[in-house]
């Protein structure tokens, strides 16, 4: 057995309370799995090296002409930082010495990224378009892959993780994230430096399990989730849907690895949400930047693809429309970007097989913004503003590039311009909020929208639907425009009935379609807001001051319970498909 493997097995044995191998001395230096032979270290940033040793033991780390030392704390933990390193394709060794000596070999220096999310990020290279051909060609010795194995959770942050670094070969790449691979392959080609990719994914998961407690605490609107996670104990039972539980087990053991950024493909499991997902995206990025001790950690995500049957109603707003809107809005986080892929999805498949364009578009953002390639346009047109001009509305955009065009995307072929083509999936409405399909024409860097049915227009919507199948606005770089709306009109609303609680437990929530709840506290005292999960019980969401208002994304047929400050139940509301106004009556 290799020396490095001995120490990994030893660490596992100690955690399980097993005796060490013959010759082992308690207090030997142990490193986490993410620091191992074959890894890529991040260039141009301080590089943390950390692990366990005997209390007070001196640990010396030597690499690339540097030698740094530190004494382990009373709990045995230690960490030091190497000075920023220059990129290198020359395999080098790192030596870590304490009571024992560990040698890590075949280490490169370049760019390191984490690739995370649910099933569309987890989707393996072999499963995508031209999977067999792509796997056969995946021979890149300067790309290294680390995949966090399995799907695990923990109520508290775990120190020990699992996984190992592998050189990118067909065998190693076959089961790795296809999106991550294509992203890394383009970076390697364009930057000419080694690339390390760390995969941590779990299909079907919501965003909340990936967010740190500190991330929730950084966003006031998520105080209820922060409170829930703060109550966790080592014995708390958590699962794949529990807030922070996946982060604690599948991401925290990687921290504080030095890396340039992360790419993120997730949202389908939060598809009923709108503004609440925006808040959660802030919490995700804030939390990971703190955990990885890098306030400038780049973060690029994928906007959800087109899916399901086309909605031919011009009002739109169905399905993932508001989730995509929240993904666009979250671009107000510095150092972030978004790959639009509403042109490569499939009505009958939630997993678009074309991962090549997804990785390419994510890399486009990274090359432009993170690596300073200002000659590259990072994205397709993003809505910037509107001007009403009589019976028409003029729209302006960011990221126009070399100009706007009517485009068509077929498979893996580059986007082609449709000569004399017509823009589609634009809708227009007046102040009466009645929507009609509209004529839209490109006028320089603008799009002008009008309809004979709307003589006094007020707002425009483009591709604002679950499946904007006919949306075809691109820039000449071949990247599609993101769906958008220029209005912020709420859906129809209704006043919800207040049910006083008189001895019987309120009904459990039942899964339904996405909607919004507005809770108004008309009492003179502070109250608490709880959601009743599908299996029963209560989940705390926050407090509401006297006279306060809370907007909450939820589902139809959900039960929301109101208690006093001492958790005495007062009453509850049941949501419907309409936007619900839930006024807590004076007692």
Rounded to the nearest 10°, the torsion over CA 214, 216, 220, 222 is -160
pLDDT for residue 22 is more than 80:
no
> What per-residue string of b and e applies to 241-266 under the rule 16 or more CB within 10 Å gives b?
ebbbbbbbbbbbbbbebbbbbbbbbb
What's the token pair of residue 193?
């430096």
Residues 561 and 538: beta-carbon distance below 8 Å:
yes
Residues 415 and 363: beta-carbon distance below 8 Å:
no
pLDDT for residue 387 is more than 80:
yes
Identify the three-state secondary structure at position 170: helix
Residues 293 and 259: beta-carbon distance below 8 Å:
no
**How many CA within 13 A on the CB side of residue 102?**
26
The model scores a pTM over 0.85: yes
For 477: left if phi > 0, alpha if psi spans -120 to 50, otherwise beta; the answer is: alpha
pLDDT (tens digit, 9 = 90+) per residue, 343-383? Answer: 999 999 999 999 999 999 999 999 999 999 999 999 999 99
Q: pLDDT band at residue 491, thresholds of 50, 70 and 90? A: confident
In this prediction, residue 392 carries a pLDDT of 98
In this prediction, residue 57 carries a pLDDT of 97
pLDDT for residue 264 is more than 50:
yes
In this prediction, residue 490 carries a pLDDT of 79
- Do β-strands 439-443 and 416-417 pair in parallel, antiparallel, or remain unpaired? unpaired
Domains and CATH numbers, the chain: 27-105 (2.20.130), 115-370 (3.40.50.1110), 384-397+406-465 (no CATH), 493-584 (2.60.40.780)
In this prediction, residue 553 carries a pLDDT of 80
Residues 285, 301: Cα–Cα separation, whole Å:
11
**How many CA within 13 A on the CB side of residue 210?**
29
């Amino acid at each position: 057995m290799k020396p490095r493997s001995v120490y990994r097995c030893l660490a596992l044995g100690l955690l399980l309370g097993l005796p060490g191998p013959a010759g082992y001395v308690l207090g030997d230096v142990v490193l986490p799995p993410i620091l191992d032979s074959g890894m890529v270290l991040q260039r141009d940033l301080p590089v943390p090296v950390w692990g366990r040793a005997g209390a007070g033991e001196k640990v010396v780390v030597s690499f690339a002409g540097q030698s740094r030392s530190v004494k382990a704390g009373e709990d045995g933990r230690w960490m030091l930082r190497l000075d920023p390193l220059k990129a290198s394709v020359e395999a080098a060794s790192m030596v870590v010495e304490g009571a024992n000596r560990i040698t890590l070999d075949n280490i490169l220096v370049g760019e390191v990224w984490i690739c995370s999310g649910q099933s569309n990020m987890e989707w393996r290279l072999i499963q995508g378009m031209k999977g067999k051909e792509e796997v056969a060609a995946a021979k890149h010795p300067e790309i290294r892959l680390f995949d966090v194995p399995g799907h695990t959770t923990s109520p508290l942050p775990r120190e020990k993780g699992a996984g190992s670094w592998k050189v990118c070969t067909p065998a190693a790449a076959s089961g790795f994230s296809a999106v991550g691979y294509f992203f890394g392959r383009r970076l390697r080609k364009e930057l000419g430096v080694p690339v390390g990719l760390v995969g941590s994914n779990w299909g079907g998961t919501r965003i909340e399990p990936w967010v740190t407690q500190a991330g929730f605490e950084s966003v006031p609107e998520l105080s209820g989730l922060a409170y829930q996670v703060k109550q966790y104990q080592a014995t708390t039972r958590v699962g794949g849907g529990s807030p922070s539980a996946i982060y604690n087990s599948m991401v925290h053991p990687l921290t504080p690895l030095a890396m340039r950024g992360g790419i993120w493909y997730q949202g389908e499991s939060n598809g009923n949400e709108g503004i609440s997902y925006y808040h959660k995206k802030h919490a995700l990025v804030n939390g990971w930047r703190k955990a990885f001790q890098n306030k400038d950690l780049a973060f690029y995500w994928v906007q959800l693809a087109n899916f399901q049957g086309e909605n031919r109603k011009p009002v739109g707003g169905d399905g993932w429309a508001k989730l995509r809107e929240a993904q666009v809005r979250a671009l107000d986080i510095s150092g972030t970007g978004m790959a639009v892929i509403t042109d490569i999805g499939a009505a009958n498949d939630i997993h678009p097989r074309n991962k090549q364009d997804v990785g390419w578009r994510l890399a486009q953002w990274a090359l432009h913004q993170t690596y300073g390639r200002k000659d590259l346009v990072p994205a397709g047109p993003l809505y910037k503003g509107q001007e009403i001009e009589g019976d028409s509305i003029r729209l302006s955009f960011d990221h126009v590039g070399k100009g706007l065009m009517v485009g068509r995307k077929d498979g893996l072929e580059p986007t082609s311009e449709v000569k004399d083509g017509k823009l589609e999936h634009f809708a227009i409405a007046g102040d009466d909020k009645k929507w009609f399909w509209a004529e839209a024409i490109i006028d320089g860097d603008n799009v002008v929208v009008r309809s004979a049915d709307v003589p006094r227009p007020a707002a425009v919507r483009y591709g604002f639907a679950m499946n904007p199948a006919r949306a075809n606005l691109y820039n000449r770089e071949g990247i599609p425009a993101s769906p958008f709306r220029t209005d912020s009109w709420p859906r129809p609303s209704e006043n919800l009935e207040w049910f006083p609680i008189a001895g019987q437990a309120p009904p459990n929530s039942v899964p339904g379609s996405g909607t919004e709840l507005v809770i108004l506290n008309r009492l003179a005292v502070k109250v608490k807001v709880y959601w009743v999960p599908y299996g029963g019980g209560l989940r705390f969401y926050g407090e509401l001051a006297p006279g306060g208002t809370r907007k909450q994304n939820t589902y139809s047929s959900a039960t929301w319970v109101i208690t006093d400050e001492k958790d005495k139940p007062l009453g509850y509301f049941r949501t419907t498909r309409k936007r619900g106004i839930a006024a807590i009556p004076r007692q």
